Amino acid sequence: MKKILLANWTHRKNVAGGTESRYGYLKQIFPDAELISYSDLFNKGQIKIPNLKEAAKKMDEYYLKRYEEDKNILIIRDGSVGGVLNTSHIPQITIFGNPYFSISEFFKFGEKYWDELVKLQKKAKNTKKIAISNFMKKDLEKIGVTIDEIISNPVDIDFFKPLNKKEELREKYKIPRDKKVGIWVGATDNPIKNIGVMSELMKIFNDEIFWILVTKNETDVSNKEICKVFYNVNRETMRDLYNCADFFILTSPIEGGGNVSFEAMACNLPCIVSYAGYWHDFWDNRIGFRIESNDLLVHIGAIKLIDNIKTNSRQVIIDNKLDLKTWKEKWEKLVKEI
């Protein structure tokens, strides 16, 4: 079997996120694979990357060097970690999770960085191109990239599950026992995650709801009586916090997937999710409510009504085979084909 290199921007264990989870799961199913990251190789471990194009070039140079040293390698990399230089002769699987075209259009970003990264991949002969959702596939087709297969992100349902000890966990994490609790997960400095809507909801509901915010970056909240922020938590804490909450909320206008939704669902939380990522691909009313990200009144109504509808979000994960075991079988089959 080929030596597998798993390449991402960063591999910090305590940074929550869909991409980090994906590479953590890949390492779990390919335990002999080598985790490599730009932040560790070239950026002194720092997550912030000032020049993405230059970073992609350095990663491509690294791939070329590794291939010259040992041609028995297979690179599995995030779609934006390389792609500037021609590495098409190296066996690789490229995973696309960030909808660059839609992000550029929605936020009117001037620099179309995604085009630079993927133009060489259109002709790559030894590259399997994987999208994490049908939404991602369509996004890439707009810039001429043909996707070979869709493999959604999974969730480890044996780990993320209902713990059935809400009072105990709320005491542990100093979450009020007598409040309705909502949980939001995302970077507060990233417009894609739409923290602005959360800020408005906190003002509107005031002390009626207590909020758990889980984020990668340090942030300040004006009213600590109605909100608690957790930074860079590990998986165990993440699972505990889902089990502290009464509902999960996703406010993003744009997502390639939205993997934290799956984690919340695996813990059987009722979910209020924006019409983004996976929720373009499928929907099931047992999840909760699917709403528009920019409609504040609908957010308010969904929160008020979430206790009154019948949900079974964990069963939706199981029925759609979004579990880690099924994902493992797909990836093992894919790697054998390369």
Half-sphere exposure of residue 83, counting CA atoms within 13 Å on the CB side? 28
- Comparing CA positions, the residue from 176, 119, 168, 113 lying closest to residue 144 is 119
SS3 for 213? strand
Determine the pLDDT at residue 194: 86
For domain 3-154+324-337, give the fold. Rossmann fold (3.40.50)
pTM of the full structure: 0.92
CA 92 vs. chain centroid, Å, equals 21
What is the C-alpha separation between 167 and 115, in angstroms, rounded?
A: 49
Where are the extended beta strands (E) located within the chain?
3-8, 34-37, 73-78, 92-96, 127-131, 149-150, 180-185, 209-215, 227-231, 247-250, 271-274, 288-291
Strand-pair partners of 75: 5, 92
Determine the pLDDT at residue 110: 44
Phi and psi at 28, nearest 5°, equal: -65, -40
Determine the pLDDT at residue 268: 98
Low-confidence residues in the chain, pLDDT < 70: 12-17, 108-125, 218-222
Determine the pLDDT at residue 158: 97
Looking at domain 166-319, which CATH architecture does it have?
3-Layer(aba) Sandwich (3.40)
What is the C-alpha separation between 138 and 101, in angstroms, rounded?
A: 10
Determine the pLDDT at residue 299: 96
Domain ranges in the chain with CATH number 3.40.50.2000: 3-154+324-337, 166-319
Determine the pLDDT at residue 193: 84
